[in-house]
Structure 1
Amino acid sequence: MMLRTDAPHAERVVVGFDGSDPALLALDRAAEEAERRTASLEVVCGWPWGLHLPKTDTDPREKRQPPTSRTRPDEGQMLYDAGRAVTDAALERVRSRFPDLRTMPHLTTEPAARALVRAGRDAGLTVVGTRGHGGFTGLLLGSVGLRVAAHCTGPLLVVRGGNAPSRGVVLVGLASEADGDAVRFGFEEARRRGAALRVLHAWQHRGVPGVLPAAELYWEGADDQRQCQAAVPAFATAVLREEFPDVEVRTESVYQGAGQALVEASADADVVVLATHRPRHPLGLQLGPVTHAVLHHAHCPVALVPVT
């Protein structure tokens, strides 16, 4: 079963929703992102995802007549009604806060990860929450969220934390020139937000332990190596600086583990953007250790941009 209204690719933001508190944070952020992009918002919901039914004004002490075989709906109808109730509550919340935003329900019986990957396949952005108990909640702490992050084909925004004050900074983690799509996404995001862009390249010499900050003391040619590494973010942003002259850009190269560097830098950012490199594994696509570290420990939302 599926209830959905389609909209063009870049004009649609998708959000997974099950009625929980983390999902509400994701819903609110998705609505903001849709408004920022002048896009429509598609709310994806379904069963069985451990749905959290909306609260009602019914007095719990009120006695109810026991259901009879004639009035009791079957299990499938009950699950469908629960999904519709949660979806309707989400749409009402969005419309009360963003009355001009176009919203679309997407009610499905697909498993949560598969449904969200499918819905986000032709969307401009997919948004999910974290730290819940089932369905789309608990993301990045459980298998559902990891599958979504590993298999999504478009940009994915993972909402972490509450509504922190704006820092006015978009942070991009840059590993190499292969991360060009993520750098472009960072420029676009900075322009949409009216924020500055910080492109951070973290690197380490293989022969020197990462805990040693003064790495130049341990091998010859350290100055040349440091200059080469500093050129990586400068080169990656050179052309885009001309295309986005209104975006303030700062590039930085640090001798540090990439995961630790990005988690620390995320404390001063509104969003951190990463390219997702997903090497093949006997059990399927896998996320790299840096992506795992940032998803679990970043201080702000994390945007994953698949490498094409």
Structure 2
Amino acid sequence: MIKQRIVAAVDGSDRALEAVRWAACEALSRRGSTLRIVAARMAESTHVPVEGFSAVEYQRAVLADAEDRLDVAESVARGISPDLTVERESREGSARAVLLDESTRADLVVLGHRGHGGFVGLLLGSVAVSVAAHASCPVVVVRQPGSDVSGDRAPVVVGVDGSPTSETALGFAFDVAARRHVPLVAVHTWFDLAVEPELVAMIDLDAVLEQERELLAQRLAGWSEKYPNVEIRRHVARDQPAWSLVEQSGDAGLVVVGARGRGVIAGTLLGSVSQAVLHHAKCPVAVVRPTPDHA
């Protein structure tokens, strides 16, 4: 089995520690995986003058604070399983830059939805969105406390629209559902804003719904053959996709959405659906970008 690396970002906040717990459970489910816990810290050149506090003393305090937070995070991870392989490091640089660099050598990056500042200053909401939009690997944003996948029987929810983006998200979602031995809920919606309101009454909604169900079945056919032991639940509705996914998240252990690809402006590549789910889902959210085969 190929050894995988799961990176968890910490800043000492409760949300960050929930992300560490989630990442530790995920590493445990991927047998032989390494959990890497990372804290970003200020660069030495960014000393803030404090009376009676030299630049050297300040940096020592920054480093000591980061190490203390890593100690707590490692203790949390080993509380999940003492047999986990755990790496840890405090790295100089901004949270966004450190995590994007980590993503180039990781199979998964896990971070909290929102944390707090201080010496390490990690996991602000904008950081989560930016990392999810630009990371080189899938990113899980842990939104709610208590998101522990060990023994969690809640289903995995994934959005399906037939695009290359959703194909990659489907592969990720099926893999998670298979390892957790939980059902997969495939959500497919249709909502034609181009239709004039007065013409809606003339549309055979039942016929359209049946067509959309058939489309979803076609999209799932290959994956169900690859993962025959995964129970598939289909949810097809005339609705906005983001709100259907948010609604389904209430009973889910994880929601999986796709990202469009790479770009320059933070957040612009997630799309309105991914952004809405990240901000409103009631469970952890995985953002998965297309692989080269599906780009």
Relative to the length of structure 1, the TM-score reads: 0.81
Q: 1:295 aligns with which of 269, 272, 278?
A: 278
* Alpha-carbon separation, structure 1, partners of 2:101 and 2:2: 13
Q: 2:201 aligns with which of 196, 218, 239?
A: 218
Q: 2:250 aligns with which of 267, 277, 283?
A: 267
Q: How does 1:182-197 map to 2 (within 5 A)?
A: 182-197=169-184
Is 1:286 the counterpart of 2:286? The answer is no
Per-residue deviation, 1:101: 0.2
Is 1:23 the counterpart of 2:6? The answer is no
Aligned AA (2:26): E
Aligned AA (2:157): L
* Alpha-carbon separation, structure 1, partners of 2:241 and 2:217: 17
* Alpha-carbon separation, structure 1, partners of 2:14 and 2:267: 31
Aligned AA (1:42): R
Of stretches 143-152 and 255-264 in structure 1, the one that deviates more from structure 2 is 143-152
- Structure 2 CA distance for partners of 1:85 and 1:187, relative to 1, 3 Å: same
Larger Rg: 1
Do the aligned residues in 1 keep the contact of 2:17 with 2:76 (CA within 8 Å)? no
* Alpha-carbon separation, structure 2, partners of 1:202 and 1:216: 20
Q: 1:238 aligns with which of 221, 239, 249?
A: 221
- Structure 2 CA distance for partners of 1:208 and 1:192, relative to 1, 3 Å: same
- Structure 2 CA distance for partners of 1:258 and 1:96, relative to 1, 3 Å: closer
Per-residue deviation, 1:286: 3.2
Do the aligned residues in 1 keep the contact of 2:129 with 2:266 (CA within 8 Å)? no
Do the aligned residues in 1 keep the contact of 2:191 with 2:238 (CA within 8 Å)? yes
Matched-pair identity in %: 33
Per-residue deviation, 1:163: 1.6
Aligned AA (1:45): A
Is 1:172 the counterpart of 2:158? The answer is yes
* Alpha-carbon separation, structure 2, partners of 1:240 and 1:184: 7
- Once the two structures are superposed, residues 180-231 of structure 1 have per-residue CA deviations (whole angstroms, 9 ceiling, x without a partner) of 111111111101111001100011012348xx9xx99523454443333222
* Alpha-carbon separation, structure 2, partners of 1:76 and 1:289: 40
Is 1:205 the counterpart of 2:184? The answer is no
Q: What is aligned with 1:93? A: 76
Aligned AA (2:158): V
- Once the two structures are superposed, residues 82-101 of structure 1 have per-residue CA deviations (whole angstroms, 9 ceiling, x without a partner) of 22222123223322431100
How big is the alpha-carbon RMSD for the aligned residues of Structure 1 and Structure 2? 2.7
Do the aligned residues in 1 keep the contact of 2:22 with 2:147 (CA within 8 Å)? no
Q: 1:123 aligns with which of 96, 106, 109?
A: 106
* Alpha-carbon separation, structure 2, partners of 1:283 and 1:244: 35
* Alpha-carbon separation, structure 2, partners of 1:185 and 1:68: 49
Do the aligned residues in 1 keep the contact of 2:259 with 2:269 (CA within 8 Å)? no
- Structure 2 CA distance for partners of 1:222 and 1:256, relative to 1, 3 Å: same
Do the aligned residues in 1 keep the contact of 2:37 with 2:73 (CA within 8 Å)? yes
Aligned AA (1:233): L
Q: What is aligned with 1:253? A: 236
Do the aligned residues in 1 keep the contact of 2:256 with 2:287 (CA within 8 Å)? yes
Q: What is aligned with 1:14? A: 7
Please list every run of 5 or more consecutive structure 2 residues that lacks an aligned counterpart in the other structure: 44-51
Aligned AA (1:286): L
Please list every run of 5 or more consecutive structure 1 residues that lacks an aligned counterpart in the other structure: 1-7, 50-66
Relative to the length of structure 2, the TM-score reads: 0.84
